């Protein structure tokens, strides 16, 4: 099975944010071009940044390089520096010569601290491999294997031996018997083992046995090899397919033929999936099985031959082509996440310093740093119709609940992205207008036009029960839920957390759905009238079309804080209420005067005592500050063009930020001062967005798939700095 990318824990996310702040402080990005339109003044997030590390003169060919990290010579041993060893060939017809350069640099700053040059002392290596454990360099040049020692950049020749063929890749391994071995693969089925034996002068090379495999013969060229150091298995890439070779048993354990007209140029393995790239730019993903290995995916990744294929730890495929293009794809869905173009032809790509990419050209090495904030969350079983996210309150976990057009409900754990419950309801027997999920009691509430049903997910067997209906001449329209921790004596021995469900109607009423919490409406302050099971929240001629209840961030951590209710009718009148609970009674107090909207509401959100409302056919949001006396409007600092109206809105109370999705498939970040500060264009068509957790990660919803946008990769540095002050 493929490893699913998981959301970071807060400690890991905080470390990632701090590293991002430290890294961005040393990077000087290129200034963006000045564009006069107000919509273009929003800073576009920079996904890629590349810079040259070692630029050589035009007649110098960079033959090979190897990379490793080492401690600095300073007293502070925590200071790690990056060391790049390159082999050059001066392509001069009158004076052809070779040289080896050792660069002591920092990939964070791109500064070369010092450089050691070895001119004429070594041959022009076509391949270099550094063994950090032994401080040895293994090089290949013109059918000979060379062994060099490396003492802090001081290279010394040890020995060399002839090689029975052209070498393409060298792999080092330490066997279970503590023997140092290098595996060599190359053209015409070259696949041999050398032992590194220590002697008085250092190390010497001793040729071992020629490894045998049915797949590897004179008709197959070994292009690349990768080693699993735990199982000691080699993943060998040939121009006609791949093979997994068990070095302990000296036999192959699995093989995959490409079954493609063009030759294989690169490949990689991730879990039970093998990804191959071909000379015609096609990329295929094979699934390793017990009997057969079918092709799971195939797509045209590039329009030129692929030369490199890398996979990050969280399942992102990085591909390189000879035309200077580097592409990023999701391994789970093969959705294209981004693309970067170089002006030169790429010869090799590799991961360095985490998962930054070192790109080799003919006479240059460049470091490509990238940010892919959009990651795959989960695939939907059926097309998504509606989504709800419940936030963690104390010990109550967070949940993501989907409803499909066929009334299939799936409950996800947002930390592991796994499906923890599936609830199928027949679309022919029940028409769902809205739903809510009480994560405290694990109860799914279904809203029809006249009845509210409940489904207890934790009980087995579970049934859909009719729990609430009214005899009034009205229809139900919207549901909302607020989490409440009870400190009452009767609840101390039982479940102390409850989901309180409210429902709006077509005659402007707000009903309180009865439950185990035992709450009821109370007397309004300064009013002698007693309330029944409903409250006239809007005019009796208005239909409740928007019903949202918000909890301040303190509610999630201290079980206190404020709760607010927003109700908007079809008459475009919005009313805002403060919700308070005392003993068994619920109080509603209207704040300020009603708000008159100029178009229907399509979404509302709260962040740091600001209420944002997005209206249809509008490219901006209406924002209001909650005060003691009511609501104060905050004028928008950016009026965007109406050709990209907002279609979804969410907010993060922790950061005081809002996020919107418009019809141009752009995600825009807004501050609590109603100013747009960041913009990101998405390739995948999105339906809506939602706040995923209390640190601001954003859930992106498409028709059949969910993505998440990590706020640590999207928000400006000042917002991230504020996020690091969060203690929990």
Are residues 639 and 614 part of one domain? yes
* pLDDT score recorded for residue 108: 67
In-domain check, residue 241: no
- % of the chain with per-residue pLDDT over 70: 81
DSSP 44: B
- Which residue, 83, 110, 125, sits at the end of a domain? 125
Q: Tell me how far apart the alpha carbons of residues 652 and 655 are, in angstroms, rounded to a whole number.
A: 6
Which of helix, strand or coil describes residue 576? Answer: strand
* pLDDT score recorded for residue 652: 87
Paired strand residues for 252:
245
Cβ atoms of 45 and 370 closer than 8 Å: no
Which of helix, strand or coil describes residue 22? Answer: helix
Give the relative orientation of helices 717-724 and 10-24 as an angle to the nearest 10 degrees: 140
Are residues 648 and 723 part of one domain? yes
Are residues 665 and 583 part of one domain? no
In-domain check, residue 687: yes
Question: Six-digit token pair at 309?
Answer: 């294929």
Are residues 642 and 548 part of one domain? no
- Which residue, 469, 497, 520, sits at the end of a domain? 469
Identify the CATH number of the domain in which residue 447 sits: 2.40.10
Please write the tens of the pLDDT for every residue from 220-277.
788 899 888 888 888 889 888 888 888 888 888 878 887 788 899 999 988 878 899 9
* pLDDT score recorded for residue 1: 29
- Residue 111, Cβ density class (10 Å: 0-12 exposed, 13-18 middle, ≥19 buried): exposed
Are residues 725 and 605 part of one domain? yes
DSSP-assigned states of every residue in 83-151: EEEEEEEE--SSS-EEEEEEEEEETTTTEEEEEEEEESSS---SEEEEETTTTEEEEE-SSEEEEEEEE
Question: Six-digit token pair at 414?
Answer: 């947002």
Q: Tell me how far apart the alpha carbons of residues 345 and 323 are, in angstroms, rounded to a whole number.
A: 5
Cβ atoms of 426 and 435 closer than 8 Å: no
Please write the tens of the pLDDT for every residue from 397-406.
889 999 998 9
The whole domain housing 465 covers 382-469
Tokens 């520096």, residue? 81
Distant-in-sequence, close-in-space partners of 385: CB < 8 Å, separation ≥ 6: 403, 404, 405
Q: Tell me how far apart the alpha carbons of residues 403 and 382 are, in angstroms, rounded to a whole number.
A: 9
In-domain check, residue 16: no
Please tell me the number of Cα atoms within 13 Å of 555 on its side-chain side. 23
DSSP-assigned states of every residue in 501-559: EEEEETTSEEEEPP-TT--EE-PPTT--PPP-SEEE-S-TT--EEEEEEEE-HHHHHHS
Tally the residues of the chain: 728
Find, among 600, 596, 595, 593, the residue nearest to 618 by Cα: 600
Q: Tell me how far apart the alpha carbons of residues 191 and 237 are, in angstroms, rounded to a whole number.
A: 12
Q: In 10 A of CB 359, how many CB atoms?
A: 24
Please write the tens of the pLDDT for every residue from 351-397.
887 678 889 988 888 888 877 778 778 888 889 999 999 877 766 78
Question: Six-digit token pair at 347?
Answer: 């010869």
* pLDDT score recorded for residue 63: 85
In-domain check, residue 32: no
Distant-in-sequence, close-in-space partners of 250: CB < 8 Å, separation ≥ 6: 211, 212
Positive or negative torsion for Cα 339, 344, 350, 355: negative
Q: In 10 A of CB 727, how many CB atoms?
A: 7
In-domain check, residue 320: no
DSSP 342: -
C-alpha separations of 545 from 53, 505, 619 in Å: 58, 9, 21
In-domain check, residue 363: no
- Ranges of the chain whose pLDDT falls below 70: 1-49, 51, 53-59, 71-80, 91-97, 108-110, 176, 209-210, 212-218, 289-295, 354, 394-395, 492-495, 523-532, 552-561, 638-643, 722-728
Paired strand residues for 465:
454
Distant-in-sequence, close-in-space partners of 354: CB < 8 Å, separation ≥ 6: none
Cβ atoms of 654 and 726 closer than 8 Å: yes
Are residues 529 and 609 part of one domain? no
Are residues 462 and 493 part of one domain? no
Q: Tell me how far apart the alpha carbons of residues 152 and 397 are, in angstroms, rounded to a whole number.
A: 52
Question: Six-digit token pair at 355?
Answer: 């998962």
Identify the CATH number of the domain in which residue 696 sits: 2.130.10.10
Are residues 146 and 65 part of one domain? no
In-domain check, residue 696: yes
In-domain check, residue 284: no
DSSP H helix total and E strand total for the chain? 3, 58
If one counts the domains in the chain, the total is 5
- Prediction pTM value: 0.69
Are residues 718 and 606 part of one domain? yes
Are residues 485 and 591 part of one domain? yes
Which of helix, strand or coil describes residue 52? Answer: strand
- Which residue, 596, 615, 643, sits at the end of a domain? 596
* pLDDT score recorded for residue 453: 93
Tokens 């093998």, residue? 274
Are residues 694 and 661 part of one domain? yes
Are residues 573 and 496 part of one domain? yes
* pLDDT score recorded for residue 91: 65
DSSP 717: H
């Amino acid at each position: 099975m493929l490893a699913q990318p998981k959301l970071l824990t807060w400690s890991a996310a905080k470390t990632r944010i701090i590293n991002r702040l430290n890294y961005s402080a040393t990077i000087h990005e290129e200034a963006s071009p000045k564009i006069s339109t107000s919509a273009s003044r929003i800073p576009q997030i920079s996904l890629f940044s590349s810079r040259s590390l070692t630029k050589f003169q035009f007649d110098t060919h960079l033959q090979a390089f190897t990379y490793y990290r080492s401690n600095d010579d300073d007293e502070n041993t925590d200071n790690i520096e990056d060391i790049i060893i390159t082999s050059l060939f001066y392509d001069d017809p009158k004076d052809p010569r070779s040289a080896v350069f050792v660069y002591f640099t920092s990939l964070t700053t791109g500064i070369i601290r010092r450089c050691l040059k070895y001119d004429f002392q070594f041959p022009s290596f076509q391949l270099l491999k550094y063994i950090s454990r032994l401080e040895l360099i293994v090089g290949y040049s013109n059918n000979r294997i060379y062994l060099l020692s490396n003492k802090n950049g001081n290279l010394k020749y040890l020995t060399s031996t002839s090689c029975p063929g052209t070498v393409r890749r060298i792999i080092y391994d330490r066997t279970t018997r503590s023997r140092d071995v290098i595996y060599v693969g190359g053209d015409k089925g070259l696949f041999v083992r050398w032992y590194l034996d220590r002697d008085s002068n250092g190390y010497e090379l001793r040729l071992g046995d020629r490894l045998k495999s049915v797949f590897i013969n004179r008709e197959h060229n070994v292009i690349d090899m990768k080693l699993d150091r735990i199982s000691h298995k080699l993943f060998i890439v040939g121009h006609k397919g791949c093979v997994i070779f068990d070095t302990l048993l000296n036999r192959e354990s699995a093989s995959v033929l490409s079954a493609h007209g063009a030759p294989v140029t690169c490949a990689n393995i991730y879990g039970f999936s093998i990804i191959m790239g071909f000379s015609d730019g096609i990329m295929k993903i094979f699934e390793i099985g017990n009997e057969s290995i079918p092709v799971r995916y195939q797509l045209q990744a590039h329009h030129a031959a692929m030369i490199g294929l890398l996979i990050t730890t969280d399942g992102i495929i990085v591909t390189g082509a000879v035309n200077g293009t580097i592409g990023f794809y999701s391994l789970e869905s093969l959705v294209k996440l981004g693309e970067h173009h170089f002006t030169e032809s790429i010869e090799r790509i590799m991961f360095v310093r985490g998962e930054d990419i070192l790109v080799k050209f003919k006479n240059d090495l460049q470091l490509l740093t990238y940010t892919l904030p959009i990651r795959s969350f989960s695939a939907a079983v059926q097309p998504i119709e509606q989504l709800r996210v419940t936030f963690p309150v104390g010990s109550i976990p967070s949940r993501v609940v989907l409803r499909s057009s066929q009334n299939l409900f799936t409950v996800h754990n947002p930390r592991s992205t796994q499906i923890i419950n599936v609830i199928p309801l027949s679309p022919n027997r029940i028409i769902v207008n809205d739903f809510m999920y009480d994560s405290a009691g694990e109860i799914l509430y279904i809203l029809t036009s006249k009845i509210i049903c409940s489904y207890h997910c934790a009980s087995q067997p579970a049934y859909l029960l009719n729990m609430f209906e009214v005899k009034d001449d009205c229809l139900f329209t919207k549901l909302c839920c607020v989490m409440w921790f009870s400190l009452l004596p009767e609840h101390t021995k039982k479940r102390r957390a409850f989901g309180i469900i409210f429902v709006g109607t077509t005659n402007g009423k707000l009903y309180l759905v009865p439950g185990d919490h035992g709450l009821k409406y109370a007397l309004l302050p300064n009013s002698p009238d007693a309330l029944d099971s409903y409250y006239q929240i809007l005019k009796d001629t208005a239909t409740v079309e928007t019903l949202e209840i918000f909890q301040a961030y303190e509610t999630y951590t201290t079980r206190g804080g404020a709760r607010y209710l927003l109700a908007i009718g079809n008459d475009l009148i919005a009313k805002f209420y403060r919700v308070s609970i005392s003993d068994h009674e619920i109080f509603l107090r209207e704040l300020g005067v009603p708000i008159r909207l100029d178009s229907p509401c399509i979404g509302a959100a709260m962040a740091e005592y600001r209420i944002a409302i997005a209206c249809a056919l509008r490219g901006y949001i209406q924002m209001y500050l909650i005060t003691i006396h009511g609501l104060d409007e905050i004028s928008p600092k950016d009026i965007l063009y109406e050709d990209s109206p907002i279609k979804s809105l969410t907010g993060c109370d922790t950061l005081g930020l809002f996020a919107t999705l418009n019809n141009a498939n752009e995600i825009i970040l807004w501050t609590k001062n109603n100013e747009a500060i960041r913009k990101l264009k998405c390739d995948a068509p999105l339906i809506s967005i939602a706040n995923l957790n209390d640190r601001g990660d954003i859930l992106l919803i498409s028709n059949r798939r969910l993505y998440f946008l990590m706020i640590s990769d999207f928000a400006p540095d000042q917002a991230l700095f504020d996020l690091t002050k969060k203690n929990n």
